[in-house]
């Protein structure tokens, strides 16, 4: 590990020097690329310097304790310094292991989130709306931006399905753990006997793919227009503003009818299509690796039951890591950080095991 850290530090210093070069500064693309790499290496180098400083203090204290010089007070101070420096160096070493783990290249990208009502009829669509609200409040707490892409609303206020784009640095790194089946256990308002119903909602988290990530040829697309349907809006069923795009090579179909403008619906539908094609591409590339993992946290498996929201007990349980929190209302109000942080920590621990 330390040989690798020396190489990282060497590369960091090389980039730092190059960034002072007038020729590099004038080359906008190269300068931007080097700045990005410099930013990624900075926390590693800073932590490595902390480690070396702690190691130096440890060796200094050890030398005093093993030497014949120094009075009693000096040796007592050296003993304390030895303990503190040892703890600091060990802590830095553990953090460096995490910093050196391969970074998910998608972590800083925007995401497209799809929420669909599953089993449970109207109750499932109402919980889909609850999850949409939860994620909206989480996005707001992170000061990210949320843009609705498409929604199929129900008369009682739920969603058969809803799609939205989250824009913000690190959005995928936080949302990628939400893919899967979310289960709700509660007494519906229409249930006179007070019997608890179990319903499910599926969540899919897709990376917003840029045009450079996925090349979509116009000849591979079949684009159809149709009249929007569903609840809400005087424009519904008046004009053919809704868009359906079929990607002929893969058979993928996306629809968008959220906007009154056919052009805007087409743009949003293309965002969704690119995200789905990028997801397909990534899954094909990692299929062999994924099959060898003991546990995939945030793998995007939509058939996996990942979390239960139990209203009578005010309990939320994440089944992947066995985490149970008794603060249902806070979580549904967008307080997701404790769950996400523990999922990330677990994923990092699993990655460290694999790296050993």
The 10s digit of each residue's pLDDT in 89-112 is 999 988 888 888 778 888 888 999
pLDDT tens column, 247-263: 988 888 888 887 778 88
pLDDT at 228 exceeding the cut of 90: no
pLDDT at 330 exceeding the cut of 90: yes
Say yes or no: 196 and 304 in one domain.
yes
Say yes or no: 41 and 168 in one domain.
no
- Tell me the average pLDDT across 64-86: 85
Say yes or no: 93 and 116 in one domain.
no
148 compared with 315, residue with greater pLDDT: 315
pLDDT at 301: 46
Pairing of strands 159-167, 111-117: antiparallel
356 falls within a domain: no
Asked which of 72, 99, 126 is the last residue of a domain, the reply is 99
Say yes or no: 192 and 333 in one domain.
yes
- Tell me the average pLDDT across 136-141: 96
Average pLDDT across the chain, whole number: 84
Beta strands per DSSP E along 187-319 = 197-207, 221-226, 242-247, 252-256, 305-310, 315-318
Asked which of 77, 99, 121 is the last residue of a domain, the reply is 99
Rounded CA gap, 267 and 278, in Å? 17
- Tell me the average pLDDT across 276-302: 57
pLDDT at 267: 86
Asked which of 66, 99, 132 is the last residue of a domain, the reply is 99
Whole-model pTM: value is 0.68
Question: 294 falls in which pLDDT band (50, 70, 90)?
Answer: very low
105 falls within a domain: no
pLDDT tens column, 115-133: 999 888 889 999 999 999 9
Question: 66 falls in which pLDDT band (50, 70, 90)?
Answer: confident
> For residue 153, what is the enclosing H or E element?
strand 145-153
Say yes or no: 279 and 236 in one domain.
yes
212 falls within a domain: yes
Say yes or no: 207 and 336 in one domain.
yes
pLDDT tens column, 161-220: 898 999 998 999 999 999 999 999 998 876 767 788 899 999 999 888 776 667 788 888
What's the number of domains the chain is made of?
2
Say yes or no: 208 and 142 in one domain.
yes
Token representation of residue 96: 């460096």
pLDDT tens column, 157-171: 788 889 899 999 899
Question: 286 falls in which pLDDT band (50, 70, 90)?
Answer: low
347: nearest Cα among 181, 98, 94? 98
Say yes or no: 78 and 116 in one domain.
no
Say yes or no: 21 and 116 in one domain.
no
pLDDT at 229: 66
304 falls within a domain: yes
88 falls within a domain: yes
Say yes or no: 254 and 315 in one domain.
yes
104 falls within a domain: no
Backbone angles phi, psi at 151, to 5 degrees: -150, 140
pLDDT at 299: 43
Say yes or no: 94 and 236 in one domain.
no
The parent domain of residue 46 ranges over 2-99
pLDDT at 297: 43
Q: Which CATH number covers residue 333? A: 3.30.70.1660
Rounded CA gap, 175 and 183, in Å? 18
- Tell me the average pLDDT across 4-9: 89
273 falls within a domain: yes
Say yes or no: 127 and 272 in one domain.
yes
């Amino acid at each position: 590990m330390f040989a690798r850290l020396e190489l990282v530090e060497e590369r960091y210093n090389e980039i730092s020097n190059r960034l002072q070069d007038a020729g590099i500064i004038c080359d906008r693309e190269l300068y931007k690329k080097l700045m990005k790499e410099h930013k990624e290496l900075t926390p590693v180098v800073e932590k490595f310097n902390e480690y070396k400083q702690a190691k130096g203090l440890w060796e200094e204290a050890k030398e005093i304790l093993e030497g014949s010089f120094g009075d009693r007070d000096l040796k007592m101070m050296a003993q304390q310094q030895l303990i503190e420096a040892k703890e600091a160096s060990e802590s830095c070493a553990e953090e460096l292991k995490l910093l050196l783990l391969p970074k998910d290249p998608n972590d800083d990208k925007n995401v497209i989130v799809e929420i669909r009502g599953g089993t449970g009829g109207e109750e499932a669509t109402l919980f889909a709306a609850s999850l949409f609200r939860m994620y909206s409040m989480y996005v707001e707490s992170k000061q990210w931006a949320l843009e609705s892409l498409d929604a199929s609303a129900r008369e009682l206020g739920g969603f058969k399905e809803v799609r939205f784009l989250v824009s913000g640095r690190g959005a995928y790194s936080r949302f990628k753990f939400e893919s899967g089946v979310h289960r709700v256990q509660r007494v519906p308002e229409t249930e006179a006997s007070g019997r608890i119903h179990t319903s499910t909602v599926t969540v899919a988290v897709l990376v917003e793919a840029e045009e450079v990530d996925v090349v979509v040829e116009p000849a591979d697309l079949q684009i159809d227009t149709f009249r929007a349907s569903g609840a809400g809006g005087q424009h519904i069923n008046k004009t053919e503003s809704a868009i359906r795009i079929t990607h002929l090579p893969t058979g993928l179909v996306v629809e968008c009818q959220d906007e009154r403008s056919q052009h805007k619906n087409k743009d949003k539908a293309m965002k969704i299509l690119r995200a789905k094609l990028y997801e397909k591409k990534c899954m094909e590339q990692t299929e062999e690796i994924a099959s060898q993992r003991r546990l995939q946290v945030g793998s995007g498996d939509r058939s996996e039951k990942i979390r239960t929201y139990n209203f009578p007990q005010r309990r939320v349980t994440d089944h992947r890591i066995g985490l149970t929190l008794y603060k249902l209302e806070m979580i549904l109000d967008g307080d997701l950080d404790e769950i996400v942080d523990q999922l990330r920590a677990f994923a990092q621990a699993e990655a460290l095991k694999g790296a050993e």
